[in-house]
Amino acid sequence: MNTNQVGVGRINLSTGIGYDGAADKYATYLKLFSGEMFKGFQHNAIARDLVTKRTLKNGKSLQFIYTGRMTSSYHQPGTPILGNADKAPPVAEKTIVMDDLLVSSAFVYDLDETLAHYELRGEISRKIGYALAENYDRKIFRSLARGARAASPISATGFAEPGGTQIQLNSTANATQATSASNLVNGFFEAASVLDEKGVSSDGRVAVLNPRQYYALIQATGDGGLINRDVQGSSLQSGDGVVSIAGIKIYKSMNIPFLGKFGTTATPTNAGDFVGPTMDSASGTVTATYARSSATITITKTAHGISVGDKITFTATAGGGTTGVYTVASVPDANTFTITDTASGTVSGGTACTYAIFGINNSYGDSGAFAGSCGLIFQKEGAGVVEAIGPQVQTTNGDISVVYQGDVILGRLAMGADYLNPAACVELYVGSSAPAAF
């Protein structure tokens, strides 16, 4: 006798065996995947709600308008009031351009899904969400650091508007000084003072620290009283509960640029990696050198931050390399990476070239730009993010699924980020000199 199978994957007990429409026997499974992807994104992305977010429609960029300050004066009886003589307020603009479509995808083979002893799609969906969130946050945090190094866009003669702030925690550039609780507490109070002096609203001030810095503050609770005493015991055990310092709410993230890296595998002093797409000039073009042996082009750029699989637009400004879009084949060390040319030949080392990360249209800085950076304090106006396509999920179905006996599951988003109001951006750093603007 046949069993009466529960129609877990079917809508309204559909008896169909297809992959589309009302007869889709996996209909609810695909919706489950969508939910898991969004949960994965929301769990890992913290920067999205901490800065100014706008939705972009029917365009490639979004314009933000700045207005400078105005003066006041006493009225002389009998004289007309016709506006300030200095024609204030001065106005400037900032344009944030969209980067190209960002995707993360996986192909799930039906037989693998059937034989797996664990829920396959949910796990993949979460990892897709994590991948998108990681890229999203890293762009925003690097934009905030860039803003902390920038002057105000208001530059009209006779008008003075504050720019960004960089606060030195210690003149020695190492992880010990960057994770010192006393250094961090001093930095927070200095940041709060500076933001007050620049007239930045106290509403929505936050800080984002590397996890090791965050936990260093928790361990210092006996000295500084940084944890709410009502939850002190559970906070120490859970690694959560730092309320604020100087009215600045604190978050932790592995996605801030910390001493030229994103996160670490063991300790802050390990070799580590600065993962993710990088650029080191406002134009998006990086000047480097290269050599070619047969079809292998080896590009040399100090602290390039490139990963295997990244796509770059390579331009040989000298020698015989072939200009084009390439996928990075290998990364021998932190200062070199290779691509495979479409032609063969020999070019001596040190030959001039340029490259740009394919798909990125804003400047986010390379690892060398963040060698001393170790924390961000900012207010919501500090940076902006524009979204043309928010985090979405797509899957194949119908004939495609039948032909390949499986589904491609894809998460995607289209966004761009940059600083808005430099006065609302503060960067913490260690080292003898502040990180340079880019």
Q: What is the pLDDT of residue 233?
A: 46
Q: Pairing state of beta strands 336-357 and 311-315?
A: antiparallel
* Residue 369 contacts residue 435 (beta carbons within 8 Å): yes
CA angle at 275 for the pair 144 and 118, rounded to the nearest 5°: 115
What CA–CA distance (Å, rounded) separates 72 from 65?
Answer: 22
Residue 323 identity = T
Residue 40 identity = G
pTM score: 0.79
Residue 427 burial by Cβ neighbours in a 10 Å radius (0-12, 13-18, 19+): buried
Q: What is the pLDDT of residue 221?
A: 58
- Kindly list the averaged pLDDT for each block of 10 residues, start to end, along the chain of length 438: 52 53 51 63 83 83 75 80 74 82 84 70 83 90 95 79 94 93 94 95 93 85 52 45 79 90 60 51 75 95 82 90 92 92 91 88 83 95 91 81 83 91 96 92
* Count of beta carbons in the 10 Å neighbourhood of residue 199: 10
Q: What is the pLDDT of residue 264?
A: 60
* Residue 414 contacts residue 151 (beta carbons within 8 Å): no
Q: Record the tokens describing residue 296, joined without a space.
A: 């292998």
Q: Record the tokens describing residue 64, joined without a space.
A: 């933000």
Q: Where in the chain is the domain with CATH 2.40.30.20?
A: 286-357
What CA–CA distance (Å, rounded) separates 63 from 142?
Answer: 20
Sign of the Cα pseudo-torsion (302, 303, 304, 310, in order): positive
Sign of the Cα pseudo-torsion (325, 280, 104, 266, in order): positive
Sign of the Cα pseudo-torsion (128, 130, 135, 136, in order): positive
Nearest to 335 by CA among 289, 302, 286, 368: 302
Q: What is the pLDDT of residue 26?
A: 52
Q: Pairing state of beta strands 165-170 and 244-245?
A: unpaired
CATH topology of domain 286-357: Elongation Factor Tu (Ef-tu); domain 3 (2.40.30)
What CA–CA distance (Å, rounded) separates 112 from 105?
Answer: 17
- C-alpha count within 13 angstroms, C-beta hemisphere, residue 398: 2
Q: What is the pLDDT of residue 366?
A: 78
What CA–CA distance (Å, rounded) separates 378 from 388?
Answer: 25
Sign of the Cα pseudo-torsion (422, 423, 426, 431, in order): positive
Say which residues have a Cβ less than 8 Å from residue 290's Cβ, sequence separation at least 6.
297, 298, 299, 300, 316, 319, 321, 347, 349, 351, 353
